[in-house]
Amino acid sequence: MVKAPKGYRHRTRKLLTKDVREKGAIPRASVMFYPYKVGDKVAIKIDPSFHKGMPHRRYHGLTGTIVGVRGRAYVVSVPVGDSVKTIITYAAHLRPLKA
């Protein structure tokens, strides 16, 4: 019997796939170079074509707050249940919140 995979991206077959018309390696430049500031609210939307700085799949679709900047990456604070988690991720996986 084969053991179930326990990797970082296991059970993400549908979650981390792009639509046929969205496929490609380069995200939009407006997404990559958006000027986030500390205190901004962001939505975490993982871009599967950009592997660097990819957060864990459990944070996909959650809302967080920018806490700091580390080089090209952003430090995002995300409330999960009763605790607050800190994620370090690239701008390719973040979207500015409209509200």
Parts of the chain with a pLDDT under 70: 25-27, 99
The CATH number linked to 54 is 2.30.30.70
Whether 54 is covered by a domain: the verdict is: yes
**Residue 64, number of CB atoms within 10 A of its CB:** 26
Q: What pLDDT is recorded for position 29?
A: 77
Mapped onto helix, strand or coil, the DSSP state of residue 20 is helix
- pTM as predicted: 0.86
Whether 11 is covered by a domain: the verdict is: no
Sheet holding 73-80, edge to edge: 83-90, 73-80, 63-70, 41-44, 94-96
Mapped onto helix, strand or coil, the DSSP state of residue 22 is helix
Whether 23 is covered by a domain: the verdict is: no
Whether 77 is covered by a domain: the verdict is: yes
Number of domains comprising the chain? 1
Segments forming the whole domain that contains residue 59: 28-96
Whether 37 is covered by a domain: the verdict is: yes
Q: Summarize pLDDT for 54-65 with one digit per residue, the tens.
A: 999 999 999 999
Whether 20 is covered by a domain: the verdict is: no
Q: At residue 92, what is the residue type?
A: A
What is the greatest pairwise CA distance in the chain? Answer: 50
